Amino acid sequence: MPRTRPAALRFYGCSNVVVTGIIIQNSPKAHLKFDNCAAVQVSGITVSSPGDSPNTDGIHLQNSQNVVINSSDIACGDDCISIQTGSSAVFIHHVNCGPGHGFSIGGLGKDKTKACVSNITVQDSTLQNTTTGVRIKTWQGGSGSVQGIMFSNIQVSDVKTPIMIDQFYCDKRKCRNHTAAVAISGVSYQSIKGTYSYKPVHFACSDSVPCTGVSLSAIELNPSPEKKHFYGPYCWETYGELRTNTTPPIDCIQPDKRIPSYDSC
């Protein structure tokens, strides 16, 4: 019953919510979900589900503002934390993720919808054995923007692709091409360190709405010792700057060329 599987615990239209000290295990879908909420504090929670349980996000945020999530352990089969449209002022720190699909903003802009996400910080956190580390994913054809994103002091261990922006996100085999896209700007990666098992950095941005203001510093990503097949960093239409040397060298970022103008959100 994929469409009727419920979240284990869902808050809708709530403000001043505190969730602390609970364990949620084997949810049929998202473990903990907030829609249309404001002033949310989540701390000291444990989410525990197998890495192959489908669509089991750890914490799912939608249309929620002023959210702090800290000091929690999340193991699940989808995004450890999923940040969806309408979310802003979200601060995530001291969270351990894995297995799972990492910390994700999106998928945004599905079916030509407008999406707005701003001011998201993920810091002082770790990921082990996840498919991605810190990720922004948008569907082709959407509008709106993702702005003011900071990923800082993230330790990864055996993560397939630690750093990813994908403006061609598609969970089917093939999606139609569109020129419109959710604009991504002002994304900063500081001190992302550890090991990857597939590709250290993957930035696939839209031809018509490139990613701008992407800045990286103190990136140190090395191949996992046991794995054999690796790819180098990949960038497409990605503009910004390297503030320090990086391991491996990420020379595919192009210098920022212009200040783009975006749909207001």
Ligand X SMILES: *[C@@H]1O[C@H](CO)[C@@H](O)[C@H](O)[C@H]1NC(C)=O
Contact predicate 69/45, CB 8 Å: no
Distances in Å between the Cα of 142 and the Cα atoms of 35, 90, 145, 148, 207 are 21, 22, 9, 19, 14
Q: Of 142, 232, 219, which is closest to residue 183 (Cα–Cα)?
A: 142
Q: Which stretch binds ligand X (CB under 6 A): 101-109, 172-180, 235-243, 256-264?
A: 172-180
What would the x/- binding string for ligand X be over residues 46 to 75, using CB under 6 A?
Answer: -----xx-----------------xx----
**For 81-210, where are the E strands, in sequence order?**
81-83, 88-97, 103-108, 114-128, 132-138, 143-159, 161-166, 183-196, 201-204
Question: Nearest distance from residue 249's CB to ligand X, in Å?
Answer: 27
Under the binding rule (CB under 6 A), the answer on residue 176 touching ligand X is: yes
H or E element at residue 47:
strand 46-48
Tokens of 121: 């910080």
Choose which of 48, 96, 113, 119 interacts with ligand X (CB under 6 A): 119
Exposed/middle/buried for residue 204 (C-beta within 10 Å: 0-12, 13-18, 19+): middle
In sequence order, the β-bridge partners of residue 32 are: 9, 59
Under the binding rule (CB under 6 A), the answer on residue 43 touching ligand X is: yes
Residues 215-244 that bind ligand X (CB under 6 A): none
Under the binding rule (CB under 6 A), the answer on residue 173 touching ligand X is: no
C-beta closer to ligand X: residue 72 or 82: 72
Catalytic residue list contains 207:
no
What would the x/- binding string for ligand X be over residues 126 to 155, using CB under 6 A?
Answer: ---x------------------x-------
CA gap 58, 186 in Å, rounded: 26
Catalytic residue list contains 52:
no
Q: Which stretch binds ligand X (CB under 6 A): 102-110, 169-177, 192-200, 208-216?
A: 169-177
Number of residues near ligand X (by CB under 6 A)? 17
* The one catalytic residue among 78, 79, 166, 202: 78
Under the binding rule (CB under 6 A), the answer on residue 172 touching ligand X is: no
Question: Nearest distance from residue 246's CB to ligand X, in Å?
Answer: 26
Question: Nearest distance from residue 217's CB to ligand X, in Å?
Answer: 20
Q: Of 144, 150, 49, which is closest to residue 101 (Cα–Cα)?
A: 49
* The one catalytic residue among 31, 101, 166, 202: 101
Under the binding rule (CB under 6 A), the answer on residue 88 touching ligand X is: yes
Contact predicate 59/31, CB 8 Å: yes
Question: Nearest distance from residue 9's CB to ligand X, in Å?
Answer: 18
Under the binding rule (CB under 6 A), the answer on residue 28 touching ligand X is: no
Under the binding rule (CB under 6 A), the answer on residue 89 touching ligand X is: yes
- Helical segments of the chain, H only: none
CA gap 42, 250 in Å, rounded: 35
Active site residues: 78, 101
> In the complex, which residues of this chain contact ligand X (CB under 6 A)?
41, 43, 51-52, 70-71, 88-89, 94, 99, 118-119, 129, 148, 174, 176-177
